[in-house]
Structures are given as structure tokens and as C-alpha cells.
């Protein structure tokens, strides 16, 4: 691990000197990859655990407020622009807005936890002028859960690397383990996003099924007569 750290110290000294600043900026702008990296580095003791965690959390919370501000001042125009791309996008955006109108706080929380349509949900909250105190609460709670989960993924892979360090002394394996952590993060993101979108359309599917069942029963009874 010293070889890995010395490599970055000699080639990218600014990254080492301002590491917490870069983690904060990465968490606020990009999010997932930075948080996984922070968890990994904390696990191998390249950075301090709790400062890194709270910096990532702060960046994620600020990210939520930033997209809320976009919706608050720009209205629904950013979402409308994205939603005009195709029919599927329009349906998803409509469902996000409908879901937010019905559940508001729960929508913010679920969007944060699953990292599914998060930007669209935050912008929707802002465009609807959702109560800022309530938004702050759900944004914070969702951020804590999401950062905790993603940070743990990076931390777990870092611990796995430390366990095998005596056998894998080449620092190239650090990138392999880190790549595995990021890949797992994307897999979880895809799974959660798919489940969240399916849940948005679940009520429509249930209604469609019940209508078909009702029509079938009515037809059967009319044929019997």
C-alpha cells in the first residue's frame, strides 16, 4: 500500500495534499464513485474513516439542495426538456410527478436511497415549492442511508484487499479491487433503479389487470344469459 500511496504522492501531489477537498467536490458533483473510493481509502487507512464519511455525506446533502434550487428557480423546464426525449421518458417523468404529488417526502427518501431518478425528483420538489424544512429532513435521511450503503461497499472491498495483502503485494491489485467495488455499486444502482421504476407503474398494471378481470367476468355473465 505504501507503493500505491508513494506513486500518487510523487505524480499527483495535489490529490494527496487536498484529498478531503477533492472527496467533498466529488461527492457533491458526482457522488457514487467518489463515495466508494472514499470508503476504500478509509478501509486501507489512507484517509480517516469518519471525516471521509461525513465529508461524503455533506457533499450528497448539498447535491440534493442544488437540484432542489434548480427546480425552485427554473420550474419544471429542465425536466420537460429531458422528458421530451422519447415516449418512455415522458411516461417516467409523469409518474415521478404523480408519485411526488401523492407521497412527497417518501418520494424524496426513496429516490435518495435507491439513487433512482434522484435528479428528477429533487427538481420536481423544487418546482412544486415543496416545504424547505421537510425537504431538508428527507434529503438528509435519504443521504445518510445512501452514503452509508455505498461507503460500506468501498470499505468492504478495501478490507478484502487488506485481508489478502500478504499475497497481493502488487499495488495494481488495488485498482482491481477498487474496480470491483465500483462495478458492484453500479450493479446495485441498476437493480434499485429498475425496481423503483417498476414500482411507479405497479398501480397502473394492477388497475389494468383488475379492469381486464372485471371485463372478462362481465362478458362471461352476459354469455351465460
* 78 within 8 A of 70, measured Cβ to Cβ: yes
- Among 35, 72, 40, residue whose Cα is nearest residue 54: 35
Q: In this model, does residue 163 exceed pLDDT 70?
A: no
Q: How many domains does the chain have?
A: 1
Domain that holds residue 12: 2-224
- Indicate the DSSP class of residue 116: S
Nearest Cα neighbor of 112 from 203, 22, 196 is: 196
pTM of the model: 0.72
What is the Cα–Cα distance from 202 to 26, expressed in whole angstroms? 35
pLDDT (mean) for 92-96: 72
Residue 165: helix, strand or coil by DSSP?
A: coil
Cell 500518487, residue? 8
Reported confidence tier of residue 196, pLDDT bands at 50, 70, 90:
low
pLDDT tens digits, one per residue of 20-32: 888 999 899 988 8
Distance CA 49, CA 205 (A): 45
Nearest residue to 95 (alpha-carbon basis) of 83, 86, 105, 85:
83
Average pLDDT of the segment spanning 206-219: 54
- So what's the pLDDT on residue 170? 56
Number of alpha carbons in the 13 Å side-chain half-sphere of residue 117: 29
The whole-number pLDDT of residue 167 equals: 52
Per-residue model confidence as pLDDT tens digits over 107-145: 888 888 877 778 888 988 998 899 999 999 999 999 999
What digits encode the pLDDT tens for the residues 34-87? 898 888 888 888 888 999 999 999 999 999 999 999 999 988 777 777 665 666
How many CB atoms are located within 10 Å of the residue 48 CB? Answer: 12
Amino acid at each position: 500500500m505504501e507503493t500505491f500511496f508513494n506513486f500518487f504522492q510523487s505524480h499527483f501531489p495535489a490529490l494527496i495534499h487536498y484529498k478531503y477537498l477533492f472527496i467533498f467536490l466529488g461527492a457533491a458533483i458526482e457522488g457514487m464513485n467518489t463515495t466508494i473510493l472514499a470508503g476504500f481509502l478509509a478501509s486501507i487507512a489512507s484517509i480517516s474513516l469518519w471525516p471521509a464519511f461525513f465529508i461524503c455525506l455533506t457533499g450528497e446533502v448539498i447535491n440534493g439542495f442544488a437540484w432542489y434550487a434548480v427546480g425552485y428557480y427554473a420550474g419544471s423546464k429542465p425536466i420537460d426538456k429531458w422528458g421530451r426525449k422519447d415516449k418512455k421518458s415522458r411516461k417516467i417523468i409523469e409518474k415521478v410527478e404523480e408519485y411526488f404529488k401523492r407521497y412527497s417526502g417518501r418520494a424524496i427518501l426513496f429516490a435518495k436511497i435507491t439513487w433512482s431518478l434522484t435528479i428528477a425528483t429533487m427538481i420536481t420538489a423544487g418546482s412544486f415549492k415543496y416545504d424547505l424544512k421537510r425537504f431538508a429532513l428527507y434529503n438528509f435521511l435519504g443521504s445518510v442511508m445512501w452514503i452509508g450503503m455505498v461507503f460500506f461497499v468501498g470499505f468492504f472491498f478495501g478490507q478484502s484487499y487488506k485481508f489478502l495483502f500478504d499475497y497481493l503485494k502488487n499495488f495494481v491489485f488495488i485498482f482491481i479491487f477498487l474496480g470491483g467495488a465500483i462495478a458492484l455499486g453500479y450493479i446495485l444502482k441498476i437493480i434499485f433503479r429498475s425496481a423503483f421504476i417498476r414500482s411507479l407503474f405497479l398501480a397502473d398494471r394492477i388497475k389494468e389487470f383488475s379492469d381486464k378481470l372485471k371485463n372478462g367476468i362481465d362478458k362471461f355473465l352476459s354469455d351465460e344469459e
